[in-house]
Amino acid sequence: MCIILFKFDPRPVSKNAYRLILAANRDEFYSRPSKSADFWDSSNEILSGALVTNFLTSDLDCYSYLKKVSVEGHLYNGFNLITADLNTTKGDVICYYGNKGEPEPVFLNPGIYGLSNCLLDTPWKKLQYGKQLFTEVVNRSQDLAKEDLVQELLTVMNNQEPQLPDPAIEDQGKEYIRPILNKYAAVCVRCPGYGTRANTVLLIDAEGNVTFTERTMINEDVSQWKTSTYEFKLHM
């Protein structure tokens, strides 16, 4: 069960503020082959973990792309997709589409959002708790050095306190989830052979400077991690 927490502020009032602060966990089986995020080619224009590429390589704006996806959304298993156009001259736009929710994509207003294995801002207790911890950190973001902000967000994403009881998450998981509910109902999941394998923190400041930090598990060992950081500037 992955989780994404983010704050969207397209018009920060000071140079010390951030247009986007995002923290995310990728949860899956430890033994599943995967690659760390990296630039795709020598052009250094696409930095990703090799998951969804069509939007990044298309000429469509974020809403038009989601509108195109929504036409065939019913053909797929449940998924959520967040797209953004971040441009310092035209302004920032973020859109969301979940194929188990509304038929049309939606534009997101400035604010703090959370997403897990359900629709955007579904009030699961683990998601609400994660948003609470995340909000406490981002409210102090202008007073923190960038490196300290990253570390505090990583601490949030590694919180293993179960948020129970939560009938909603238990009902969705049914028999599969009940044996591991105590671990599954935390921001950071730690089960035998399955759980949080990567933490990602993304910061975009008022001037379009991007800091992308990824912390990934090494050799299926929860005690071994590698941290990589990339810094660059958005194209205008």
**b/e map 28-45, b = 16+ CB within 10 Å:** eebeeeeeebeeeeeeee
Dist CA 207 CA 198 (whole Å): 28
Q: Read off the pTM.
A: 0.92
Residues of the chain with pLDDT under 50: none
Give Cα 63 to chain centroid, integer Å.
19
Tell me the pLDDT tens digit for each residue of 71-110.
988 888 889 999 999 886 778 999 999 999 999 999 999 9
**Domain extents in the chain:** 3-32+114-233
The pLDDT of residue 236:
63
The pLDDT of residue 91:
84
Cis peptide before 103 (omega within 30 of 0): no
The pLDDT of residue 49:
62
The pLDDT of residue 50:
80
Q: Which residues contact 26 (CB under 8 A, 6 or more apart)?
A: 2, 49, 196, 197, 198, 200
Tell me the pLDDT tens digit for each residue of 33-59.
888 888 876 667 777 768 577 888 889
The pLDDT of residue 184:
86
Q: Where do the DSSP E strands lie in 104-205?
A: 106-107, 111-115, 190-191, 194-205
The pLDDT of residue 17:
92
